[in-house]
Chains A and B, each alone.
Chain A
Amino acid sequence: MSRPVRFAPLVLLLAIVAALVWRLATPADTDVHSTLEGKPVPAFALPAILPNKPPLTSADLATGQPHLVNIFASWCVPCVTEVKVLQALRDKGVPIEGIAIRDRPQDLADFLARNGDPYERIGSDPRSQVQISLGSSGVPESFVVDGKGVIRYQQIGQIEAADVPMILSKLEQAR
C-alpha cells in the first residue's frame, strides 16, 4: 500500500473536521435571501381593480424616487395588521403601491374601508403571475424598489411596527 493511500483517510478526516469546525464557528444563516435583489423589476402591467385607484405597471416604479411595493390580499389575515403599519410609513411620506393577489373588487373595497388605505396605486394580479415573476410565494410580501426600478430589498412576511426603521433605512439607501 503506497504512502498517499495509507494517509488518505487521515487527510480526508481532517478536511471534514475542518469543514465541521467552520460550521460550528459560523452558525447557519437560516434566512432565505431574495435572488432578485439588485435586479430590475420584471416588466408588467396590471389592470386596475377599483374604480378610484389607478392601475400599476413596472414603469410607474421607475420614477426617480424609491417605492415600497406591497403584495397583499383582502383575504389575508396578517395583511389586516400590516396595513396599519403601512399607513404609518405612508404618513412619513413613503409612496406605497399595492399588488392585490387573487382578489375581488368588492372584497378589496371593504378591506380598505375597514382597515385604511395607504396605497397610491393598486394593480390586480388575479392569477399570481406577476407575484411569481417577482419571486414572491405568499402574502404579504414587500419590495423596496429604487428610482430606476431596481429591487433593493424583499421582505418575506408582514412588515411589523418594529420593522419600520429598517424599512425606512432601506428606502433611504435606495435613494
Chain B
Amino acid sequence: MIAETGLAALWLAAALAALQFLLMILALRGGADVRRAMRSIAVLQGVLTLIAFAMLLIVFARSDMSVALVFENSHSAKPFIYKIAGAWGNHEGSMLMWVTILAVAGAFVALLAHRTSERTTVAALGAQAVLALGFYAFLLFASNPFARLWPAPEDGQGLNPLLQDPGLAFHPPTLYLGYVGLSVAFSFAVGALLTGEVDSRLARAMRPWVLGAWILLTLGITAGSYWAYYELGWGGYWFWDPVENASLMPWLAATALLHSINVLAARGALKAWTMMLAVIAFSMSMVGTFLVRSGILTSVHAFAIDPQRGTFLLALLAIYVGAAFTLFALRAPSLKEGAPFELVSRESGLVINNLILSVVLGVVFVGTLYPLFVEALSGEKLSVGAPYFDAVAAPLALLLTVLVGIGPLMAWRRERRPVFRQLQVPALLGIGALAITIILFPAMHILPRLGFMVAAYLAAASILPLTGRNPLRAPLATWGMAVAHFGIAVALAGMAANAAFTSERLAIARPGDTLSVGPWLVVLADVTPTAGKNWTAVEAELRATRGDGVITLAPQSRFYSDPPTETSETAIRTFWNGQLYTVLGKQDVSGAWQLRLWWKPFVTLIWAGGAMIAIGGALALLGRLWRLIWRRRSPAEEWRRERYA
C-alpha cells in the first residue's frame, strides 16, 4: 500500500502540474481568481510530491524487498542511515528527489513571491509547472521508483560500498537543491521574458534563489571534492572528470549570474545578458544531469546507464532550453537597457567578471564534450585530461582572482577616485609572497608560485570593502562578499601548497619496516584482520612520528560481501599545517604490503576556503532575507538604498 500511495501522489501531482500550466495561459489574460487558484495548486503539488518522497523513504526504511528499487539498492544488513540514504543513491530515487525539490520550490515561489508583478509571478509558476511536468513524465513512464517485484525476494542486492558513507547522505541532495534553485531562476527569467517585465524588481525576486542555489552548489562541490579525496584513496581533490565538470559548469554559470543580477537589481542594466545567464545556468544543471544519467561520457562515476533515459532527458533538455532560447531571441530586442555606465565602474568590473567566468565555463564545456564532437566528426578517439584544463583554466582563474580584489572597490556608474591606491598593501603582500617562494623554494613551478602571490594579495584586498567605515555597520551582504572573496584566497593558498609541497611515498613494506614521507617517519607495526557490520577487512597499524610524540593510523583494505566489492579505507590525520594521508593496498605474493603515504601541507585550506565561500554566500542571503522579511521597504526606497550602498 505504501508504494502505491506514493505512486498515486505522484500521478496527482503530475495532473496538478498540467492544470497549473493551463491556468497560466488563462491567468495571463486576466482574472485574479485564476491567479490565486494557481498559487494554491502550486502549493498542493509540492505537498503531494513530499508525500510521494516520504513513501519512498518508508519503503527503504522498512527494507520492503517487494519494491524493485529497494531490492536493487538495499540490503537488510545495511546500517539504518544508509538504508535511508539508499532511497536517493540510485537513479529513480534521485529523480523523485529532484522533482520533489522542484515542486516544493514552486510552492515557495507561490507563497513568497510578491516582489515581481502578479503577471510575472504567474508566468514563472507556469514555466515551473512545465519543468515539473517533464520530470513527472520521466518518472512515471521511464523510471518508476515504486515498481513492485513478485514474488518478493528474500533480501536485497546491497548498495555500492563506496556510497556507504555519510558524504553520500548529503552530497546528492545538496547538489539537487542547488540545481533546483537555478530552475526557479530559469522560470523567473522565462516568465519575465513572456511578460516583458525584466527589471530590478525581478532581479531582487530572483536573487535569493540564485544565492541559495549557489551556496548549495558551492557546498556540494566542496563536499564532493573532499569525499573523492578520502574515499577513493587517490590523494587528489579534483580530477577534471566529466561528472565533476558536470557539477562545476552550473556553479560557474551561477557565479556569473550571481554577479550580473546585482547589476540588474541596482542599476537595471545588463537585462538581456542576465536573462541569458539564468537560462544557461539551469541548462548547465540539465546538461550535468544528462551527462551523469546517460553515461554518454566515460567517467569514474559509474551510474546505471540506460539509453532510453538518456534520450528522455535529452528531449527535455532540448525542449526546455530550446524554448527558452527561442523566447530570448524573440524578446531580447524589446528589452530596454538600463542606466548607462562608464568604463571604470562597478558595472564594468562585473561585466569583466562575467566575461572571464563565461570563458572558463566555455573551456570546461568544450573540454568535457570535445571527445564526443571529435569522434562524431572524424571517428577519432581521444580524451581530454587535466593538462588541458589546468593549462587553460588556471591562468584565467588567476586573472579573475586578481580582479576580484579590485571590483568591489569600484563605485556604481563611474569611479573617479584613485582606487588603486587602496590596493598598495595587498599588492605589497602579493609581491612579498612571490619573493619568499623565489628565495626559499627556487625549484617551485610557476603556477603554485603565482597561486601563493595572488592568494596573499587577495586575502588582504578582500577585506578592503569593510574598511574605511565602521565594519559593524556594513551591510550583511558586504560582509558576505568579503568572507566569500577571502575564502577564494584561502582555497587558492591550499591548492598552491598542495601542488608545491606534497610528498608522496609508494612502498612495499613488511611489519616492522620504517618509511619516510615529508617530515614523517612511519612504522608499519602490524597488519591484522577486523570486521564490521557488513564487511571484513585487513587493518594496518601505522605509527607515525615527526619528533614530537607518536600517532597511530589504521588504514584498511575492506571487503564487502553484498555486493562483493573491495575498497580501501584511507586513514587521514589532520594537523594545523597539513594532513598525513595513508592507504593500505594489497598483499603481494611474498607477503609484503603495498602502502601509499602522502604528506600534504595545508591541503585542508582548499575545503576550508570552499566552506568560507559558502558561508559568505549564506551571510549575504541572510542579509537579503532579513531585509525582505523584517524591513519591507517600498521598491523605490530599496532601489535608492541599493544604488548608494
Residue positions of A touching B, CB distance < 8 A: 1, 6-7, 9-10, 13-14, 16-17, 19-24, 27-30, 32
A6 to B334 alpha-carbon distance, docked (Å): 12
| Cβ-defined contact, B318 with A23, below 8 A | no
**B191: shortest Cβ distance to chain A, in Å?**
19
Contact of B326 among A1, A10, A20, A29 (CB under 8 A): A10
Give a binary string over B276-291; 1 marks a CB under 8 Å from any A CB, 0 the rest. Answer: 1001100100000010
Say whether, besides A1-B332, A7-B329, A16-B369, A24 and B322 are in contact (CB < 8 Å). no
Residues of chain A within 8 A (CB-CB) of B332 are: 1, 6
| Cβ-defined contact, A24 with B310, below 8 A | yes
A14 to B381 alpha-carbon distance, docked (Å): 23
A9 to B283 alpha-carbon distance, docked (Å): 12
Residues of chain A within 8 A (CB-CB) of B464 are: none
Say whether, besides A6-B332, A6-B333, A10-B329, A19 and B321 are in contact (CB < 8 Å). no
Contact of B372 among A6, A10, A23, A29 (CB under 8 A): A23
A100 to B317 alpha-carbon distance, docked (Å): 54
A91 to B117 alpha-carbon distance, docked (Å): 86
| Cβ-defined contact, B321 with A13, below 8 A | yes
Q: Secondary structure at chain B's binding surface: helix, strand, loop or mixed?
A: helix
Say whether, besides A1-B333, A13-B325, A20 and B272 are in contact (CB < 8 Å). no
| Cβ-defined contact, B376 with A22, below 8 A | yes
| Cβ-defined contact, B376 with A19, below 8 A | yes
**A86: shortest Cβ distance to chain B, in Å?**
26
Say whether, besides A10-B322, A24-B296, A17 and B376 are in contact (CB < 8 Å). no
A47 to B155 alpha-carbon distance, docked (Å): 60
7 A-B pairs (CB sep. < 8 Å) = A1-B333, A9-B280, A9-B329, A10-B329, A13-B321, A14-B322, A19-B372
Q: Secondary structure at chain A's binding surface: helix, strand, loop or mixed?
A: helix
| Cβ-defined contact, B372 with A20, below 8 A | yes
Given contacts A14-B318, A17-B322, A19-B373, 20 further A-B contacts (CB under 8 A): A1-B272, A6-B328, A6-B329, A6-B333, A9-B279, A9-B325, A9-B329, A10-B325, A10-B329, A13-B318, A13-B325, A17-B314, A17-B317, A17-B318, A19-B372, A22-B376, A23-B296, A24-B294, A24-B311, A32-B381
Residues of chain B within 8 A (CB-CB) of A32 are: 381
Size of interface on B: residues with Cβ below 8 Å to A? 29
| Cβ-defined contact, B372 with A13, below 8 A | no
Residues of chain A within 8 A (CB-CB) of B296 are: 20, 23-24, 28
Residues of chain B within 8 A (CB-CB) of A21 are: 314
Interface check B307, CB cutoff 8 A: yes
A30 to B297 alpha-carbon distance, docked (Å): 11
A19 to B381 alpha-carbon distance, docked (Å): 15
A13 to B307 alpha-carbon distance, docked (Å): 20
A24 to B276 alpha-carbon distance, docked (Å): 28
**B142: shortest Cβ distance to chain A, in Å?**
14
Residues of chain B within 8 A (CB-CB) of A22 are: 376
Residues of chain B within 8 A (CB-CB) of A13 are: 283, 318, 321-322, 325
A14 to B280 alpha-carbon distance, docked (Å): 14
Residues of chain A within 8 A (CB-CB) of B280 are: 9
Residue of chain B at shortest CB distance from A3: B329
A19 to B322 alpha-carbon distance, docked (Å): 15
**B395: shortest Cβ distance to chain A, in Å?**
25
Residues of chain A within 8 A (CB-CB) of B328 are: 6, 9
A41 to B282 alpha-carbon distance, docked (Å): 53
- Residues facing A in B325-373 (CB within 8 A) are 325-326, 328-329, 332-333, 369, 372-373
| Cβ-defined contact, A9 with B372, below 8 A | no
**A34: shortest Cβ distance to chain B, in Å?**
13
A7 to B325 alpha-carbon distance, docked (Å): 8
A96 to B294 alpha-carbon distance, docked (Å): 44
- Residues facing A in B101-151 (CB within 8 A) are none
A7 to B327 alpha-carbon distance, docked (Å): 10
| Cβ-defined contact, A24 with B376, below 8 A | no
